[in-house]
Amino acid sequence: MMSKQSIIDHDGHQIYLSGSVSRREFLKRMGILGGGLVIGFCVGNPLVSARMKREGFLGAGIPKDFNAFLRIGTDERVTCLTGKIEMGQGPITSLPQMLADELDVSYDAVDIIMGDTDLCPWDAGTFGSLTTRHFGIFLREAAAEAKGVLFQMAAEQLKVPVEVLKAENGRIIVNGQPEKQITYGRLTKGKIIERVLTDLPPLKPASELTVMGKSFFRQDSRVKVTGKAEYAGDIRLPGMLYAKILRPPRHGAKLKHAEPSGAETIKGAQVVREGDFIAVLHEYPDMAEKALARVKAEFDEPRTGIDDVTIFDHLLKNAPAPRISSEAGNLDTGKGQSAITVEETYLDGYVAHAPMEPHTATARMDGKKMTVWVSTQRPYGDQERVSRELNIPKDQVRIITPFVGGGFGGKTVCHQAVEAARLAKMTGRPVQVAWNRAEEFFYDAFRPAGVVKITSGLNSKGQLVYWDYNVYFAGKRGSEPNYAIPHHRISCYADWRGPGVEAHPFAVGPWRAPANNTNVFAREMHMNLTAEKAKADPLAFRLAHLKDKRMIGVMEAVAKAFKWTPATVPSGRGYGIACGIDAGTYVASMAEVAVDKATGVVNVKRVVCAQDMGFVVNPQGSRIQMEGCITMGLGYALSEEIHFKDGKITDTNFDTYPLPRFSWVPKIETVIVDNPDLPPQGGGEPAIIVMGGVIATAIHDATGAKLLQQPMTPERVKKAIESVRG
Amino acid sequence: MTESIQFTLNGKSVKFDGDGERTLLWVLRIDFGLTGAKYGCGEGLCGSCTVLLDGEAVPSCQIAAKDVGDSQVTTIEGLESEGKLHPIQDAFVRKDALQCGFCTPGMILKAQGLLNENPNPSRQEIIDGMEDNLCRCGAHVRIVEAIESAAKAMKGGIK
């Protein structure tokens, strides 16, 4: 019995999520099965590369043929094809908006297939807030080119010059003679459009867009509220087995010997072994788990002596050479001009991605073809790995991405895909590997811990003239000074990848807005401490050092919405302020907190966030992402840090790793600053970068305390308050 | 040990023949093919597996199959009626109260459990009532609005 149909009714529309669309079904729907056509990508238009550059890791693999991005069905429905995936951030809605607008079809006529390596154009992965601002351009260009070709075809069919034609709602019409028209579907007859254009039409200017810029409800709401939405763990295949894999007790441990036979005392349990890779398989996942517990194993467990307290000294001792990310003037000159200097060291711990859906994959091998349904942000990356590690030709590996239950950067690496595929290949049965919460914590590639050392200097006029910023291991993104400081140097020692990662006792990786969260926390806290020395209002102090119009714009917007009134910091009001840049988007937040000085518990009462993200494709969707970022950001600011000792991750569930709850959520106001002439910028990440900074500065304003470490747990806040000299 | 457990599942009388110690979450997902209830943590700490047991919202990862004998179990699949969304489902759609959707079935059933106990909750009572359910995407603000809206729509009781 095949898995649930993924052709889902949504208010009468049909949406594919690639869950189980077979290539055959797809071709049939497109009306091109049995047509004797060559399926695949025809010769790309060399002129296309003259437009949006297809270069580098993100762009070089993106197809040139516009047919890779869209298909027009004989039923007049248009299918958007994208290698991006849907993990809650909303492209399932916004990409059809972009396609509909550029192609001049009704939004309601667009379906979308996402993250299926057999059907969709190559994509580097869904990360970096790139879906709208990078992929979106290729999609629109493909639509513009397709439409241009349709115009030519229509001109021939209708026997009129191209100039008298207009496109409207999926058809080409002769101006002034509406009876002379032809639909896209009749023009293309479901076939791949084999023409190319010599002159590429321009994209529509912002003033002509009618679908982009409007708020649309999510396309996938109905299937998600009814439980019909399929995630990788919901895929059910005949003969499928659930696998539980023997895991080491700590990072760095090596299997000495294992005695798995105990597992087979559970009826129906099957042990599979290849070297140190030992898995227990069963028809029922709970029984597989029970059986795994009966496997006896002994490990060599080296003790590193590194834990969540000693890690910072360890990292500093193992820092690689620095790279300068920004520099101006001369540090010695700046130091010389400084009447007052402020020097502090900031610490930030490791943070888990902790998506609600753990890493999951379901794999099936049919003859030579391996199909894996993966909860992933990088289907093509997974295809590459499965192919390489299991020695299967890449064109025989199909990765299908169902709905993903959260990613946040943590599903850019998906070991479980290889694990499931390996077991499917070994057993000849479909196999599902679903990590439990302890595995999810253990194998996470955490946001790297970091240290930031800042020395700032004020001249006798109270102006910030000197800024020596050194960020260790957290990363470069967002490390730029943001403020106009004449003598500054930003030095970055290691990032989440590249030289230095080996200093971490386990894997690290990209976490929502990598590095920016730590950098904004340190920078903004330090700005507040510097403003305090200058006896200044923290908003006025920041504005006095801003030259960038977009940054001034968001600061003024947030101050207006927050109803900021000037006061020197600390004012006792508990008002925080933080700003930064991420993925091309400028963001500024203000917060009001109430601090219980006896316990150190912080109540975030309200947060106002202003964001300039250029042209906004889906305003509602953008606000929802801002709210999500603000809420998620409360975690790394107040409670989230991974506890570990000697390679053991002592956090195995949410009891010791607290996520933000309903009672934590402040009153949130989101302000989108209008900037429609700028192409769309990042939306999924920017608003999270300011949360640590805005809460730290708010606590500082409330109590005068210096918050020098994230997360700002009650114990740390209490200690910081106690350190304030009366 | 194999038992025969009879209970009502989404309004229908069903029978589970198997090990009564097995966790209800997996019995629902695998034996009954109802994959709406999700595994999020396995320790009753996240709410993704929430179902209704005689109208009370419970974490199905903490319930054994044998504990539902002669009881009424409602999963997310059981809320729809003849293709029409339940008011809480409808409210979640209208208020855009979800992102990745993984916590959503649990949230909706927790909300129904809350409204079963207290059909006219204040905003604070909603927040308190939903506190045990986690959402990593941060849809909390709209979830609360959705539940407020559903409570109004369902005013006068029902379900």
Give chain B's end-to-end CA distance (angstroms, integer): 35
Q: Is the pLDDT of residue B153 over 50?
A: yes
**What was the pLDDT predicted at A29?**
61
The average pLDDT across A338-346 equals 98
pLDDT tens-digit map of A104-129: 999 999 999 999 999 999 999 999 98
Q: What is the ipTM of this complex?
A: 0.97
If we measure between CA atoms, which residue out of A148, A67, A73, A60 comes closest to residue A104? Answer: A148
B45, B94, B100: residue with CB nearest A653: B45
In chain B, whose CA is at the least distance from the CA of A221?
B93
Distance CA A588, CA A129 (A): 18
102-141 of A, contacting B, C-beta below 8 A? none
B81 touches chain A (CB under 8 A): no
Paired with A114 in beta bridges are: A82
Q: Is the pLDDT of residue B17 over 60?
A: yes
Q: Is the pLDDT of residue A37 over 50?
A: no
Chain B contacts of A232, Cβ < 8 Å?
none
Q: Which residues contact A260 (CB under 8 A, 6 or more apart)?
A: A246, A271, A273, A278, A280, A295, A296
Number of other CB atoms surrounding residue A149 within 10 Å:
21
A225, A233, A434: residue with CB nearest B104: A225
Paired with A490 in beta bridges are: A326, A469
Q: Could you tell me whether strands A644-645 and A648-649 are parallel, antiparallel, or unpaired per DSSP bridges? A: antiparallel
The average pLDDT across B83-106 equals 97
B49 touches chain A (CB under 8 A): no
pTM of the model: 0.94
If we measure between CA atoms, which residue out of A453, A454, A499, A447 comes closest to residue A474? Answer: A447
A624 touches chain B (CB under 8 A): yes
Q: Which two tokens stand for residue A229?
A: 């939405």
The average pLDDT across A262-283 equals 97
3-state secondary structure of B64: strand
B137 touches chain A (CB under 8 A): yes
3-state secondary structure of A596: coil
Cβ(A85)–Cβ(A376) below 8 Å: yes
Cβ(A85)–Cβ(A130) below 8 Å: no
Chain B contacts of A126, Cβ < 8 Å?
none
Q: Is the pLDDT of residue A7 over 50?
A: no
The average pLDDT across A501-526 equals 97
**What was the pLDDT predicted at A685?**
93
Contact check, Cβ <8 Å, A224/B79: no
Distance CA A557, CA B109 (A): 39
Beta strand residue intervals within A519-618, DSSP E:
575-582, 585-595, 602-612
B87 touches chain A (CB under 8 A): no
**What was the pLDDT predicted at A16?**
53
Radius of gyration over alpha carbons of chain B, in Å? 15
In chain A, whose CA is at the least distance from the CA of B23?
A286
**What was the pLDDT predicted at A718?**
98
Distances (CA, A) of A330 to A118, A341, A431: 55, 16, 61
To the nearest whole Å, the CA of B63 is away from the closest chain A CA by 13
Q: Is the pLDDT of residue A534 over 60?
A: yes
Q: Tell whether the torsion through CA atoms of A502, A503, A507 and A508 is positive or negative.
A: negative
Q: Is the pLDDT of residue A174 over 50?
A: yes
Q: Is the pLDDT of residue A368 over 80?
A: yes
Q: Which residues contact A38 (CB under 8 A, 6 or more apart)?
A: none
To the nearest whole Å, the CA of B120 is away from the closest chain A CA by 18
B33 touches chain A (CB under 8 A): yes
* Lowest pLDDT segment from A196-200, A533-537, B16-20, B44-48: A196-200
Cβ(A564)–Cβ(A539) below 8 Å: yes
The average pLDDT across A150-162 equals 94
Interface test with A, best of B35, B90, B108 (most A CBs within 10 A): B35
Q: Which residues contact A545 (CB under 8 A, 6 or more apart)?
A: A463, A464, A483, A484, A485
Q: Which residues contact A196 (CB under 8 A, 6 or more apart)?
A: A43, A44, A45, A47, A145, A149
pLDDT tens-digit map of B96-106: 999 999 999 99
B105 touches chain A (CB under 8 A): yes
A404 touches chain B (CB under 8 A): yes
B46, B80, B98: residue with CB nearest A654: B46
pLDDT over 70 for what percent of chain A? 93
pLDDT band at B155 (very low <50, low <70, confident <90, very high): confident
**What was the pLDDT predicted at A28?**
66
Cβ(A371)–Cβ(A363) below 8 Å: yes
**What was the pLDDT predicted at A39?**
30
Paired with A587 in beta bridges are: A580, A611
pLDDT band at A14 (very low <50, low <70, confident <90, very high): very low
Distance CA A95, CA A138 (A): 11
**What was the pLDDT predicted at B156?**
52
A230, A354, A665: residue with CB nearest B140: A665
271-310 of A, contacting B, C-beta below 8 A? 283-287
Q: Which residues contact A236 (CB under 8 A, 6 or more apart)?
A: A1, A3, A4, B33, B35
Q: Is the pLDDT of residue A23 over 80?
A: no
Distances (CA, A) of A495 to A128, A449, A653: 15, 10, 27
Category of B114 on φ-ψ map: left (φ > 0), alpha (ψ -120 to 50) or beta? alpha
B45 touches chain A (CB under 8 A): yes
422-451 of A, contacting B, C-beta below 8 A? 434, 436-437
Chain A contacts of B140, Cβ < 8 Å?
631, 660, 662, 665
650-689 of A, contacting B, C-beta below 8 A? 653-655, 659-663, 665, 668
pLDDT tens-digit map of A697-713: 999 999 999 999 999 99
B98 touches chain A (CB under 8 A): yes
Q: Which two tokens stand for residue A562?
A: 């927050």
List, in sequence order, the alpha helices (H) in A44-110.
56-59, 91-103
B108 touches chain A (CB under 8 A): yes
B17 touches chain A (CB under 8 A): no
**What was the pLDDT predicted at A468?**
98
Q: Is the pLDDT of residue A64 over 60?
A: yes
pLDDT, greater one: A67 or B63: B63
Chain A contacts of B10, Cβ < 8 Å?
none
Interface test with B, best of A5, A17, A221 (most B CBs within 10 A): A221
Cβ(A680)–Cβ(A615) below 8 Å: yes
The average pLDDT across A528-552 equals 98
Give chain A's end-to-end CA distance (angstroms, integer): 73
Q: Which two tokens stand for residue B39?
A: 């595994």
